[in-house]
Amino acid sequence: MNSRNEALFQRAQRTTPGGVNSPVRAFRSVGGAPRFLARAEGARVWDADGKDYIDYVGSWGPAIAGHAHPAIVEAVREAATRGLSFGAPTEAEVDMAELLCELLPSVDMVRLVSSGTEATMSAIRLARGFTGRDAIVKFEGCYHGHADSLLVKAGSGLLTFGNPSSGGVPADFAKHTIVLDYNDLAGVEEVFQARGHEIAAIIVEPVAGNMNLIKPAPGFLEGLRRLCTEHDAVLIFDEVMTGFRVGPLGAQGLYGITPDLTTLGKVIGGGMPVGAFGGRRDIMEKVAPLGAVYQAGTLSGSPVAVAAGLASLRLTREPGFYEGITAHTRRLTEGLAAAAREAGVTFSADAVGGMFGVYFSAAVPASFADVMASDRERFNRFFHAMLDAGHYFAPSAFEAGFVSAAHGEAEIDATVEAARKVFAGLAA
């Protein structure tokens, strides 16, 4: 272990819970000390000891153009010189809202916020205000940020640390959250049959990315759409992760489903804190100051963050952007799967656009239960061996991975080559 990383971790733990400002970063489930990152460029990150890694975390998704892309950095620099924050509307916010409405046909109006959590929390409140109902449906292992109603049987760090429902959430709040199995449409139908009139919304990750990666089963998203329409409930696609990541129109474009509300984050901030929720005009018109559902933010629509987001989205509009990223992600997952097969290691991998999953299980998981049955101890050994070899995967068996436009064949092939050696060691 490198000395400066360890020293920083020791120091951080004295003043910050777990030494980190977001739990998954702490390496708790994989063991060891987290790498403290000092800089990042393109497909690479450098830690505090100067060791570099090919990065498959990508700041947990936002870095789709690669780290510190010159166009994004310049947009930030230029915006910052004009003022960091005004607390008043700006032209860039109008540009961003128009762009999001143009890119996502389901979105007539949009409100900018500062994180994915704010986006989902606000969308839930809006759905409740619009329908006059309290209950919401979410799926086990899906993570929608850390608002109280959504921290029930959630994924990401909660799943990683084996405590999927957070402390501090009153039972009176949690009782309004109905938790069902992802990809089990029959289960959702049953609940709507019994309680459809109480349900304000279904919130779903259209491709689950916080319990590793799980694709929606054929007909699952279509079924959710139908049930929401039949029961006058609001269908919320949480595209904080999938938005402009799995394709140019997000998961809703990829699967051809029109949600009522969409939540966004990550890519639309280009690495700066931005989130958004938007959708049907009749629903969005319930948001203050037009309607009675209150939502606000001192730094909402931050001019610097919006400049970064606009620059990031412009880069994704370049011809061939998604074709390239999709092909490279596929090259990675196919290469890893082939390397594991050669070594005789039980392993599978899958990808959607620039998002991927690696699983120590014979088949690609289709449910939460499948993911839970994968070999986590082997994942941890794989993770550390790859890290030592200079390849930075998410420090948890329950997180999706991300490829950026800066990952070319050279980077992907170097990772697959390293994995070949690592799998050989795992087989032994």
Residue 192 C-beta: closest distance to ligand LHPZP3FS, Å? 28
24 touches ligand LHPZP3FS (CB under 6 A): yes
Q: Which of 238, 322, 350, 392 is catalytic?
A: 238
Q: How many CA atoms lie within 13 A of 354 on its CB side?
A: 33
Q: Which of 138, 153, 215, 266 is catalytic?
A: 266
Considering only CA atoms, which of 65, 45, 67 is closest in space to residue 393? 45
Residue 216's Cβ-count burial label (10 Å; 0-12, 13-18, 19+) is buried
Considering only CA atoms, which of 190, 183, 144 is closest in space to residue 164? 144
Q: Which C-beta is closer to ligand LHPZP3FS: that of 129 or that of 209?
A: 209
Residue 24 C-beta: closest distance to ligand LHPZP3FS, Å? 5
Active site residue 266: yes
Residue with tokens 């409405």: 101
CA distances from 279 to 100, 371, 388 (A): 10, 32, 44
Which runs of E-coded beta strand occur in 169-279?
177-180, 199-204, 234-238, 261-264, 275-279
241 touches ligand LHPZP3FS (CB under 6 A): yes
Cβ-proximal residue to ligand LHPZP3FS, closest one: 22
Residue 21 C-beta: closest distance to ligand LHPZP3FS, Å? 8
For 349-383, give the DSSP string: EEEETTEEEEESSSS---SHHHHHTS-HHHHHHHH
Residue 368's Cβ-count burial label (10 Å; 0-12, 13-18, 19+) is buried
Active site residue 238: yes
238 binds, among ligand LHPZP3FS, ligand PLP, none (CB under 5 to 8 A by kind): ligand PLP
CA distance linking residue 50 with residue 204, whole number of Å:
40
157 touches ligand LHPZP3FS (CB under 6 A): yes
Which residue of 210, 333, 380, 404 would you call a contact of ligand LHPZP3FS, by CB under 6 A? 210
Interface with ligand PLP by CB under 6 A: which residues?
115-117, 120, 143-145, 205, 209-210, 238, 240-241, 265, 275
Cβ-proximal residue to ligand PLP, closest one: 116
Which residue of 16, 22, 163, 193 would you call a contact of ligand LHPZP3FS, by CB under 6 A? 22
Residue with tokens 């070949």: 420
Q: What residues act catalytically?
A: 143, 238, 266
Binding site for ligand LHPZP3FS (CB under 6 A): 22, 24, 60, 143, 156-157, 210, 241, 399
